[in-house]
Amino acid sequence: MIIPKNILGTKGLSKEEIVTILDSAEAFKEISTREIKKVPTLRGRTIINLFFEPSTRTRTSFEIAGKRLSADVINISGSTSSTVKGENLIDMALNLEAMNPDLMIIRHSHSGVAEMLSKFIKCPIINAGDGHHEHPTQALLDLYTIREAIGDLHGLNVTIVGDITHSRVVRSNIYAMKTMGINVTLVGPPTMIPLGIENMGVHVSYSLEDAVLDADVIMMLRLQTERQNEFLLPSIREYSNLFCLTTKILKRSKDDVLIIHPGPVNRGIEITLDVMKSDKSFILNQVTNGVAIRMALMYLLLGGNNDSLN
Ligand code: CP
């Protein structure tokens, strides 16, 4: 199975392509448990990690993934690039491409940047999060974590809670989850759920208490506290009263419910510390699995050789 040349989003990825990526990640996860966490699969290949927005998990995960595959990984952040001197993004990408990289990974606060650059440069691009649009590797690692913990994805009920409107993680997860036959329910205040989102084949609820009842998985989202000046909420305390995942709310859900969160977490705002630390929480498993998913994508996009995994 050949996957698309660029991973710009999960929209348009077929079920077979998603399964290929998840299955490949299983082989790569084992490498990270070895004492020597390195295979020669991408030796001599060059990967540019271009981040124009803060990131802890995604940036480090891509860097570790590339290095564990023996690629040369170059990290560039927006603040240290010549864009601060006025160079535009397309010129910057063309100049980087002139140095013959094999893969570019890009995070940007503006929606559509990864897709735009893909029209100008020849090497593959992975979107590491663009504005409110998509964050495909996050959705893929979420699916991997759910499949690893529960098994078959088809028919599962996933409840996603928080600021749906501004979340690229939600958008990528809806596309991927619907493709995999998952039932998705979105929960949040009405000001944070776009009108008509049901047209994407999802359910909408404004009550966390109701929406956890049938959930096999509850995905909590970071409250983007930097949006407080957009007056979407009466106050952060009011939001927490209604939408924070607490032990009390969790008692209404299935005994074996799985809790995930893409991070970064606002402790005590969208999820309490005791829930984060409970045995239902797979938040750190998601981070571990992110490395395997990104190794798999690099391998699949750059045509790695299976023999080199040993
Ligand atoms: N999940 C995620 O994208 O986290 P970072 O912003 O730390 O990369």
Q: Residue 275 maps to which CATH number?
A: 3.40.50.1370
Same structural domain, 206 and 279: yes
Asked if residue 109 has its Cβ within 6 Å of ligand 1, the reply is: no
Q: Structurally, how many domains does the chain consist of? A: 2
- Give per-residue pLDDT as tens, 216-250: 999 999 998 777 667 677 788 999 999 999 999 99
Residue nearest to atom 3 of ligand 1 (CA): 58
Buried b (16+ CB within 10 A) or exposed e, 59-85: bebbbbbbbbbbbebbbbebeebeeee
On whether both 269 and 298 belong to a single domain, the answer is no
Q: Is the pLDDT of residue 147 over 80?
A: yes
Average pLDDT value for residue range 95-118? 97
Q: For the whole model, what pTM was predicted?
A: 0.95
| Per-residue pLDDT, 83 | 86
Asked whether residue 197 falls in the same domain as residue 226, the answer is: yes
Q: Is the pLDDT of residue 102 over 80?
A: yes
Per-residue DSSP letters for 21-44?
HHHHHHHHHHHTTSSS---STTTT
Mean pLDDT of the 258-281 span: 97
Q: Are residues 279 and 141 in the same domain?
A: yes
DSSP string of 263-306, one letter each residue: S---BTTTB-HHHHTSTTB-HHHHHHHHHHHHHHHHHHHHT--G
Average pLDDT of the residues in 105-120 = 97
Over residues 156-169, the mean pLDDT reads 97
Q: What does the pLDDT read at residue 27?
A: 92
The answer on pLDDT for 1 being more than 80 is: no
Place of tokens 């009011």: 238
The reported pLDDT for the residue numbered 307 is 52
- 4 in a domain, yes or no? no
Q: What is the pLDDT of residues 242-258, one digit of tens each?
A: 999 999 999 999 999 99
The mean pLDDT value for 174-187 works out to 98
User: Quick one: average pLDDT of 146-175?
Assistant: 97
Check whether residue 183 and residue 276 sit in a common domain: yes
Is the domain of 123 the same as that of 146? no
Confidence of residue 169 (pLDDT cuts 50, 70, 90): very high
Question: In testing the pocket of ligand 1, which one of 58, 60, 287 has its CB within 8 Å of the most ligand atoms?
Answer: 58
pLDDT at residue number 181? 98
Query: Within this chain, do residues 157 and 258 fall inside the same structural domain, yes or no?
Result: yes
57 lines ligand 1 (CB under 6 A): yes
SS3 per-residue string spanning 124-186: CEEEEEECCCECHHHHHHHHHHHHHHHCCCCCCEEEEECCCCCCHHHHHHHHHHHHCCCEEEE
Say if ligand 1 is within 6 A of residue 60 CB. no
For residues 233 and 125, membership in a common domain is answered with no
Residue 280 in any domain: the answer is: yes
- Would you say residue 10 lies in a domain? no
- CB 304 near ligand 1, within 6 Å: no
Q: Same domain, yes or no, for 156 and 205? A: yes
What's the whole-number mean pLDDT along residues 76-99?
91
In-domain check, residue 3: no
Q: What is the number of the ligand 1 atom nearest to the C-alpha of 129?
A: 3
Which ligand 1 atom is nearest residue 54's CA? 6
CA of 240 to the centre of ligand 1 (A): 22
- β-strand 183-187 against 203-205: which pairing, if any? parallel
The answer, yes or no, to whether any atom of ligand 1 lies below 6 A from the CB of 29, is no
Same domain, 151 and 72: no
71, part of any domain? yes
**Is residue 127 located within the same domain as residue 229?**
no
Structural domain contains residue 105: yes
| Nearest CA among 270, 288, 299 for reference residue 57 | 288
| Residue 6 is assigned to a structural domain of this protein | no
pLDDT at 233: 78
In a domain, 76, yes or no: yes
* Range(s) of the domain holding residue 154: 136-286
> Domain check: are 177 and 78 in the same one?
no
